[in-house]
Chain A
Amino acid sequence: AQSVTQPDIHITVSEGASLELRCNYSYGATPYLFWYVQSPGQGLQLLLKYFSGDTLVQGIKGFEAEFKRSQSSFNLRKPSVHWSDAAEYFCAVGAKDGGSQGNLIFGKGTKLSVKP
Chain B
Amino acid sequence: ETGVTQSPTHLIKTRGQQVTLRCSSQSGHNTVSWYQQALGQGPQFIFQYYREEENGRGNFPPRFSGLQFPNYSSELNVNALELDDSALYLCASSFAGVVGGYTFGSGTRLTVV
Interface size for chain A: under 10, 10 to 19, 20 to 34, or 35 or more residues? Answer: 20 to 34
**What is the minimal beta-carbon distance from B102 to any residue of chain A, in angstroms?**
6
Q: Which of B43, B44, B99, B104 is close to A51, meaning CB atoms less than 8 Å apart?
A: B99
Contacts of B99 in A (CB 8 A): 32, 51, 94, 96, 102
Q: Which of B50, B58, B96, B107 is close to A43, meaning CB atoms less than 8 Å apart?
A: B107
**What is the minimal beta-carbon distance from A100 to any residue of chain B, in angstroms?**
4
Chain B residues bordering chain A, tally (CB within 8 A): 30
Known: A43-B106, A43-B107, A44-B90. A105 touches B45 (CB 8 A): yes
Contacts of A34 in B (CB 8 A): 101
**What is the minimal beta-carbon distance from B42 to any residue of chain A, in angstroms?**
3
Q: Is B65 part of the binding interface, using a Cβ–Cβ cutoff of 8 Å?
A: no
The answer to whether A96 touches B97 (Cβ under 8 A) is: yes
Contacts of B94 in A (CB 8 A): 101
Q: Is B66 part of the binding interface, using a Cβ–Cβ cutoff of 8 Å?
A: no
CB-nearest residue of chain A to B91: A43
CB-nearest residue of chain B to A49: B101
The 27 sampled A-B contact pairs (Cβ below 8 Å) are: A4-B42, A41-B109, A43-B90, A43-B104, A43-B106, A44-B43, A44-B104, A46-B103, A92-B42, A94-B98, A94-B99, A99-B55, A100-B48, A100-B97, A101-B31, A101-B98, A103-B45, A103-B48, A104-B43, A104-B102, A106-B42, A106-B43, A106-B44, A108-B40, A108-B41, A108-B42, A109-B42
- Chain A residues engaging chain B, CB cutoff 8 angstroms: 4, 32, 34, 36, 41-46, 49, 51, 90, 92, 94-97, 99-109
